[in-house]
Chains A and B, each alone.
Chain A
Amino acid sequence: MYSSLEKILRRAEEQNVPFWKAVQLHDCRESDITEEQSFERMRSMYRAMLESDRNYDPALKSASGLVGGEAEKLHRAREEGKLIVGNLIASVMEKSLRVAESNACMRRIVAAPTAGSCGVVPAVLISVQDELQIPEDKMVEALYVAAGIGGVIARRASLSGAAGGCQAEIGSASAMAAGALAYLLGADAQTVTDAAALALKSLLGLACDPVAGLVEIPCVKRNVIGAVNAVTSAEMAVSGIRSKIPADQVIDAMGSIGKRMPEEIRETAKGGLAVTPEAQAIAAKIRM
């Protein structure tokens, strides 16, 4: 994996290849696999994402009984014409809930980058594919863009809530999805990194404060903001709005905020939402 997005941009330019190809070639060399093997493996990831969305079961409840059926409520509201947002955003919202809820209910998902944030990337990609009828190969390329961005974040900062708070999980997923979407909308490599930077900037500082320590509250619904934020960030970037702070520096800022975060809001369930009276009542009920 690359140590900076700047390096991916440089490599793409030197070799005259798109962003996604620069990401793929680098990984093929490190992992000693062919481009075809790599592409088919990434295709299987995309197909597993499609399946995770398709297999949603509104009747399922999570182990604690706290999560389940929310995506179905949104779906019904869409059908009844109650929502004011357009079709794409409504789909992004619904799919992020479907996949994140499925994760909480022990269904099969693709960690991207983590299980807790698994709804963000598929919600954005699948919704846009449905909207624009994009061929599958192009979707697989977009996943390379997402993986390239996530790889840089893993190296420069962190992808784990325990190490860097929720900004490292939902924030990273959002940056990955934003870059991938910008690519699907025809953006050049620089614009892809701008989309990622804009997305991550908007979620800096987000605490990881899961109620009762479970990947349920607020994790499932935070997938919605991660996904919607990815769309708005990509839209800004393709409109020519640049991130005034370069993407690599935004990632470094995220890493430094994560290091300064008290342990209480890094997945330990000792701070933030997890210690509100309601959360403590929920936790006590689950323990019994």
Chain B
Amino acid sequence: MNLFDIVGPVMVGPSSSHTAGAVKIGLTARRLLDDEIKEAVIDFHGSFLSTGKGHGTDKAVVAGLAGMAVDDPEIPDSFEAAEKKGISFTFGSVDLGDDAHPNSVRISLKGTGGKTLEMTAASIGGGQIQVQEIDGLKAVFSGDHPTLIVQNDDTPGVIADVALTLSSNNINIATLQLTRDSRGGKAAAVIETDQEIPEDAMYWLAHQDGVQKVTYLSLKEN
């Protein structure tokens, strides 16, 4: 938090958690997909489900998916803007369980280039968000740093490849978390960094043995 979280942000109302946070969730999903969005399925949970419509949460998520920022005055008209960009979207409901944050949403995206992404995220207050899951694997991050998600087979050496790639590009790791669904099964590494990761490094990583998918959140405008 800094002073401009107290006086600020400039945002489209009515709610920092239900509107501004929801825009940021949509925008984060868009950046993670890294493909033109063709289709979006948006499933709301908890308070997002019960009071989302009155807060414009539906318009806010779609605004983010269409690339709008939290202060874009066109947010109320985001449905039209998304349709113009060729994004088709549907809304539904999901029960993510009692442990899930009340302001949670699951977004499934398909891109025109064939990429897919499933992201679960929560709006945790004051416009701040927390991504919870990527493609069904736990991946907790704020979206405030460049973030690399490597999905891989749970075999030795993958993390070493990642660390080597980052260090040879002079990139500092801010946080690192590792999860797996079972021993020898699917695993994921979530790495928040202080610098943007160049495209060729990502390409190299994606083609290493045992790496299934590399997803990257760039904070650069696309």
Contact = CB atoms under 8 A, between A and B. Distances in A.
B210 interface: no
A114 interface: yes
A212 B73 CA distance: 25
Contacts of A111: 8-11, 16, 20, 126-127
Given A27-B2, A106-B76, A45 B55 contact: no
A254 to B, nearest CB: 16
B168 to A, nearest CB: 27
A178 to B, nearest CB: 15
> In the complex, which of the residues B6, B10, B20, B71 has the most CB atoms of chain A within 10 Å of its own CB atom?
B6
B140 to A, nearest CB: 20
B3 A106 contact: no
B11 A115 contact: yes
A23 B12 contact: no
Contacts of A27: 2-3
A105 B51 CA distance: 15
B179 interface: no
B6 A45 contact: no
Interface in B1-51: 1-17, 19-20, 47, 50-51
Contacts of A109: 10-13
B54 interface: yes
Contacts of B19: 106, 115
A116 B56 CA distance: 14
A111 B126 CA distance: 9
A108 B56 contact: no
The contact size tier of chain B is 20 to 34
Nearest to A146: B7
A160 B7 contact: no
Interface stretch (A9-17, A147-155, A193-201, A242-250): A147-155
**A interface, how many residues as a size bin?**
35 or more
A48 B2 contact: no
Interface string A36-63: 0010011011001000000000000011
A150 B7 contact: yes
B15 A45 contact: no
Nearest to B103: A162
B14 A116 contact: yes
Interface string A205-226: 0000000111110000000000
A196 to B, nearest CB: 13
B11 A106 contact: no
Interface string A135-153: 0000000011011101100
A214 B6 contact: no
A121 B7 contact: yes
A277 B155 CA distance: 60
A143 B11 CA distance: 17
A179 interface: no
A110 B125 CA distance: 16
B53 interface: yes
A43 to B, nearest CB: 11
A111 B16 CA distance: 8
A215 B6 CA distance: 19
Contact of B50 (A62, A63, A176, A213): A213
Contacts of B51: 212-214, 269
Given A146-B7, A147-B3, A159-B126, A104 B14 contact: yes
B189 interface: no
A146 B20 CA distance: 22
A215 B1 contact: no
A202 interface: no
A261 interface: no
Given A48-B10, A269-B51, A1 B3 contact: yes
B62 interface: no
Interface string B70-87: 010101100000000000
A116 B16 CA distance: 8
Given A63-B54, A109-B13, A110-B11, 15 more contacts: A45-B8, A102-B13, A105-B14, A106-B12, A107-B12, A107-B13, A108-B10, A109-B11, A111-B127, A115-B14, A115-B19, A163-B125, A212-B51, A213-B51, A215-B15
Interface of A: 1, 23-24, 27, 30-31, 38, 41-42, 44-45, 48, 62-64, 102-116, 118, 121, 143-144, 146-148, 150-151, 154, 159-160, 162-163, 176, 212-216, 269, 286
14 contacts: A42-B3, A63-B53, A63-B55, A105-B14, A107-B12, A107-B13, A108-B11, A108-B12, A109-B13, A111-B9, A111-B127, A115-B20, A146-B7, A212-B54
